[in-house]
A = this chain, B = another copy of it.
Amino acid sequence: MTSPAKFKKDKEIITEYDTQVKEIRAQLLEQLKCLDQQSEARVQLLQDLQDFFRKKSEIEMDYSRNLEKLAERFMAKTRSTKDHLQFKKDQNILSPVNCWYLLLNQVRRESKDHTTLSDIYLNNIIPRFTQVSDDSVRLFKKSKEVGGQLHEDLMKVLNELYTVMKTYHMYNADSISAEGKLKEAEKQEEKQIGRSVKPEDRLVGRSPDPAANIRFEEKHQRRSSVRKIEKMKEKRQAKYTENKLKAVKARNEYILALEATNCSVFKYYIHDLSDLLDCCDLGYHASLNRAMRTFLSAEINVEQSKHEGLEIIESAIDSLDACNDKQRLMELYHTVFCLPPKFDFQPHMGDGVSHLYVQQPMQGELVLRCQQLQSRLATLKIENEEVKKTMEATLQTIQDMVTVEDFDVADCFQYTNSTESVKSTLSETFMSKPSIAKRRANQQETEQFYFTKLKEYFEGRNLITKLQAKHDLLQKTLGESQRTDYSIASGRRNSSVRKQDGNQIIPLVVESCIRFIIRHGLQHEGIFRVSGSQIEVNDIKNAFERGEDPLAGDQNDHDIDSIAGVLKLHFRGLASPLFPKEIFHDLISCVSLGLSLLGPNHCVLW
């Protein structure tokens, strides 16, 4: 046992307890305050989110309206144009115009999407945040109520502890005081016993004595006082035992209350507080999650829609095709571009001969002329072939220049990682590069050279065409005159040939079908491979046999495959085949050799 100087006084203990409880009480208040703060912060955040989406909704609506106006402005402009009418009529427009229409469509599509986005912000996302906010406020209020209840309970436990501690102090003080009194009684008893025993010892040692009677009197007196003291001591002992038991019981209660309090405090701090915070959060994160996911869903849908539109534009860009556009243009203005009728031989004053006269005395001269033409043509063709090669190489250079892949602008978007230096990386992407100007100058120079060569080539080709025509006619007629015994015409006089003028050596059906195919069918996929309508083939064939020309005029209301079918039928029906039997196999091997030289991608019509 330690010395009494180290005892804490009752007051000290009470003060210490009070301090500890006061601290806990302060902490509990702070906790409620903290909940309030959290609630306020949450409501503020949700308010900010609502304001944010309200403002963003306006921005999106604004953007949408501007896009709509933009699209409408150009739509209105194009709606009246010839191209557009053409487009409405047969959906057949030039590929750049198609790109342009799709671009406007895309703007309209984006406009609509941003309207929808704005609408979703206003009528779906903002109400969600409002609800989350309402829920939060309500939950915080309820949680605070529960928290208040918990605090009250905790305070009750602490008060209980105070009470049992005070009881312990009281009973322990009683016990100590009873113990003190008992000790005092014991001390007195000891003193009394000591006094009565000593005289008797003396008495035993030196008797008799003159004062013996007086001593006996005294002795009697002392004995009754000892008895008194003993009685008192017994009383005090009983009191002490009783008080001691009470004190021990009180201490036991104090210790039990102490344990209960500590456990309750622990439970409150470790479990209840955590549960309380969970109550405040009940559904908050999940509802926020859903609101934010609505936002994500809307944005991703806008993105997907935009992407779909861009893919349509991309496929239109892929179909930018000069060759198809040329074909479309020629079809559109077919009266302007169609081949005029041939110049026919006009016999003068009933001149009965409509072919070259190659008998004597002309023959020698014409043979010589034909030979001269042949050698002249050979030279011209070689020369022009050279020009053509140069021209084509130049064209290839230009093609390479105009198809350089310089359109990737990903660099401009690299800044997204380093958010600071934005402006510096921009604007120097396309025009400010010095190489661009140089490239353009180079391109125009090449173009100039190309046109020079083109003119040269055209000139050469004009001459060659004229001379070749003359040469071919001469050679053919000279050849025919040499084998007049051959009945060339017999094979050509087929049933489907109209009764012809003497000078018409190409049957009408052949000429008319070929003219039609050249005008309308050169881009037709599967020509001479796909079979046409048997009914139409028969109709056309019968018309030719009646001497009519069903393909006259510029109308394109026949199936090109059927026309090709008529032509094939005509050649198949010839008495002697177009390619004589004796050279058929030689021709086939020639063709297959030619095909292998041309390569697999080349389309051979005949």
Q: Does any Cβ of B come within 8 Å of A509's Cβ? A: no
How long is the Cα–Cα vector from A271 to B326 in the complex, in angstroms? 13
Is there an interface contact between A416 and B109, defined as CB atoms closer than 8 Å?
yes
Is there an interface contact between B305 and A416, defined as CB atoms closer than 8 Å?
yes
Residues of B close to A55: CB separation below 8 A: 70, 73
- What is the total number of residues of chain A having a CB less than 8 Å from a CB of chain B? 214
Which residues 101-149 of A have a CB within 8 angstroms of B? Answer: 103-104, 107-109, 112-113, 115-116, 119-120, 123-124, 127-128, 131, 138-139, 142, 146, 149
Nearest 3 Cβ contacts at the A-B interface = A283-B402, A263-B469, A124-B430
Q: A109-B416, A343-B261, A447-B139 are in contact. Are A285 and B255 (CB under 8 A)?
A: no
Is there an interface contact between B326 and A310, defined as CB atoms closer than 8 Å?
no
Residues of B close to A347: CB separation below 8 A: 8
Nearest-CB residue, chain B, relative to A172: B348
Give A44-64 as 1s and 0s: 1 = Cβ < 8 Å from B's Cβ atoms. Answer: 010011011001100100110
Residues of B close to A339: CB separation below 8 A: 265-266, 269-270
Is there an interface contact between B462 and A264, defined as CB atoms closer than 8 Å?
yes
How long is the Cα–Cα vector from A83 to B348 in the complex, in angstroms? 108
Is there an interface contact between B49 and A100, defined as CB atoms closer than 8 Å?
yes
Which residues 25-41 of A have a CB within 8 angstroms of B? Answer: 27, 30-31, 34, 38, 41
Q: A127-B430, A283-B398, A455-B146 are in contact. Are A263 and B465 (CB under 8 A)?
A: yes
Nearest-CB residue, chain B, relative to A2: B350
Q: A119-B427, A409-B120 are in contact. Are A356 and B256 (CB under 8 A)?
A: yes
Residues of B close to A510: CB separation below 8 A: none
Partner of A409, one of B67, B108, B298, B413: B298
Q: How far is the CB of A537 from chain B (nearest CB, A)?
A: 25
Give the interface SS of chain A, mostly helix, strand, loop or mixed: helix
Q: A409-B301, A416-B305, A465-B264 are in contact. Are A259 and B123 (CB under 8 A)?
A: no
Which residues 1-37 of A have a CB within 8 angstroms of B? Answer: 1-2, 4, 6-8, 10, 13, 16-17, 20, 23-24, 27, 30-31, 34
How long is the Cα–Cα vector from A201 to B590 in the complex, in angstroms? 76
A-B contact list, 28 entries, CB within 8 Å: A20-B343, A27-B340, A30-B333, A108-B419, A116-B426, A124-B431, A149-B458, A150-B458, A248-B362, A252-B357, A255-B354, A256-B470, A260-B466, A262-B343, A264-B469, A265-B343, A272-B461, A275-B454, A277-B326, A282-B398, A283-B401, A293-B317, A296-B407, A298-B409, A298-B412, A299-B306, A300-B310, A301-B410
How long is the Cα–Cα vector from A419 to B467 in the complex, in angstroms? 62
Partner of A52, one of B70, B120, B299, B314: B70
